[in-house]
Amino acid sequence: MNLTTIIDEIASQADDFLEGSTSRDQARAGIAELITVDYNQLAAGDRKKVTDGVMAILEDEGFFDSRYAFDTGSSDGGTTDEEAGGDE
């Protein structure tokens, strides 16, 4: 199975299946879950390659810029102005 095709297909669906994710870690977990369900025949190494490839595409396309503007990639999901007490 061609991993590039799988990566492109998953990346094109990201808006739908990552809706509600609040961090890059959650996005990565969502991608891994989708791979497990839809591409369970992939070996563990290939699953990692696909997950990394999808994350790279989403980063390049700025997917996380607007969704996770305050997420620094840490597992806590970052802090928004509202959570930090900002009232603008």
Q: Residue ranges of the domains in the chain?
A: 3-67
Q: What is the CA radius of gyration of the chain?
A: 14
Mean pLDDT of 8-20: 92
Taking only the tens place, the pLDDT of each residue in 18-47 is: 988 878 999 999 999 999 999 999 999 999
Taking only the tens place, the pLDDT of each residue in 51-79 is: 999 999 999 988 887 655 554 554 444 44
Alpha-carbon gap, residue 80 to 45, rounded angstroms: 35
Query: What are the contacts of 73-79 at 24+ separation with CB within 8 A?
Result: 73/24, 73/25, 74/23, 75/23, 75/25, 76/23, 77/22, 77/23, 77/25, 77/26, 78/23
pLDDT the model gives residue 47: 97
pTM > 0.85: no
